[in-house]
Amino acid sequence: MMKVKIPKGSASGSLAPNVVDPPLEKTKITHKIRCFHSSFPLFAWSVRDLSRYPIETILLFLSMVALVAILGAAFLLSQALSSTAGRLLKNSPSVVVRRVNPTGWSALPAKESIRLAISVPGVIQAGTRIWGMANGPGGPLTVFGFDESHRLSDLAQSVPLPKRGEAVVGTGIATNETSEVLKLAAQNTLILKITGTLDAKTSMVAHDMVLVHPDDARRLFGIAEGYASDLIVDVFHETEADAILPDLSRAFPWPVRMTTRKEATGIYGSASARRSGIVYIAIIPAMLALAFIVFGVFKGQITQSCNVGMYKALGWTTTNIFQMQLLKALVIGIPAVTTGMVVSYGLVFRPGSSWPGYLFFGWKNSSPQLFLNTSGAILTLIEIVVLIFLPYLAAALWPALRAAVSDPQDFLESKQR
């Protein structure tokens, strides 16, 4: 004879006689909880039913947390890098003009270039930059020199200005080098004294950057006096940048290559999306696997026990059984998705996080610390929740739906066999 353990809570009766009256406050809390599960009895039944399968419940919870966290981190990182690049480069020059010749980039005459750029209608400001790549102690570094443009005053407020023979370095170089001297090699070799370090919060723009005096930069890159690496141009409105490119190109007597702010920002957006796309490829089979696991767990819980048959035999309706299964799925799913969202949000938006540099951007020794924008993060997270939660619910409810409409005798007989 099969023994079926009938839940005692379903039978009417009084409290056990040895229960001592609790203090008043505790009584109030207990009363509220009782009120809650009196109003929503299926909720308590669902949680209790889950606790009968602790290993399956915990594993399902953890696998869902992992899936949401990984997918969320990939989505958020892509979106946040794109938005942060847009915000940081909002103050960048509208157009960067470089002189080209058959051998590559070449220096352009500073004053003449500025005069020619200013003559183009729509250009409100023009300046030159002296910069390039030099070989440093740990590999290639970006070396920037100051020119006589108006932008110097902005920088002087937050960064110590290097004099001749001095260098101010980014945090990536400062952490690599314990020495106070920096040796740089390009066209010529320079030995500079490190006099300052840029703030760690500038890591996203100047992690492996060296700021030097313009004369030192010219000497390092072999740029003659009066010449510059490239020209920066500002226009009144960003949309004008594309429109003036043909005029700007015609204004110079030598061939030039121009990069607009929009192009530069777009390149970072697409690059981060491409890198995160690698994660998406892995996510599709992972989501399928989760759906199969969910289906298997819930189907197993239903068919391996005679609960459904017993409940129906006791008078539960199909709706009751379906609601309980839905609540079970939600009791696991909502905390799992929330935890996954919190984990992914923390991974991406924790100030100074540096793991994306190692994982996606090829840094080896010291990766730049990221300080990313959170705008749009919630929308992205909602998309992920929908993407994962709907298949999860479908996988969880399908076996319940099938079981709820079946004959209870089948379950009871299958248990007997």
Partner 1 sequence: MNCRNFDTSKSLPADRLGISSMVGILVMVFSILALLLLFLDSGFKSASDQVESLELVRALGLNSLSLVPSGRPLRNPGTNDLSIDLRFDPKLGQIPLDGSDLVLKVSD
Query: Which residues, numbered 397-416, are part of the site for partner 1 (CB under 8 A)?
Result: none
Helices and strands, number each (H, E), in the chain: 15, 12
Which residues 161-190 are close enough to bind partner 1 by CB under 8 A?
A: 170, 172
Beta-bridge partners for 123? 235
**With CB under 8 A as the contact rule, which of the stretches 38-46, 62-70, 181-189, 397-405 interacts with partner 1?**
38-46
Nearest to 194 by CA among 223, 157, 160, 154: 160
* Least Å from the CB of residue 239 to partner 1: 17
Q: Compute φ and ψ for 267, nearest 5 degrees.
A: -65, -40
Q: How far apart are CA 404 and CA 407, in angstroms?
A: 8
> Taking the alpha carbons of 336, 342, 345, 346 in that order, is the dihedral positive or negative?
negative
Residue 316: half-sphere exposure toward Cβ, Cα within 13 Å: 25
Contacts (CB under 8 A) with partner 1, residues 92-121: 92-93, 96, 98, 100, 102-105
The nearer residue to partner 1, 374 or 409, going by C-beta atoms, is 374
Q: How many residues of this chain interact with partner 1, rule: CB under 8 A? A: 110
Q: Which residue in the set 11, 24, 224, 281 belongs to the binding site for partner 1 (CB under 8 A)?
A: 11
* Burial of residue 158 (number of CB atoms within 10 Å: 0-12, 13-18, 19+): exposed
Interface map 331-370 toward partner 1 (x if CB under 8 A): x--xx--xx-xx--x---x-x-----x---xxx----x--
Residue 77, token pair as written in the block: 């990182």
Residue placing its CB nearer to partner 1 in the complex, 289 or 378: 378
Q: Which of residues 290-319 bind partner 1 (CB under 8 A)?
A: none
Q: How far is the CB of 11 from partner 1 (least distance, A)?
A: 7
Could you tell me the smallest distance in angstroms from the CB atom of residue 413 to partner 1?
A: 27
Six-digit token string for 411 = 């379950």
66, 57, 73, 55: which is closest to 286 by C-alpha? Answer: 66
Residue with tokens 């702010």: 261
- Cβ at position 190, least distance to partner 1 in Å: 16
Instruction: Work out whether 277 is an interface residue with partner 1 (CB under 8 A).
Output: no
* Binding characters for partner 1, 185-224, by CB under 8 A (x = yes): -------------xx-xxxxxxxxx-x-------------
Pick the piece of the chain touching partner 1 (CB under 8 A) from 37-45, 109-117, 215-223, 243-251. Answer: 37-45
Q: Which of 178, 245, 248, 173 is closest to 209 using CA atoms? A: 173
Told to check if 377 binds partner 1 by CB under 8 A, we report yes
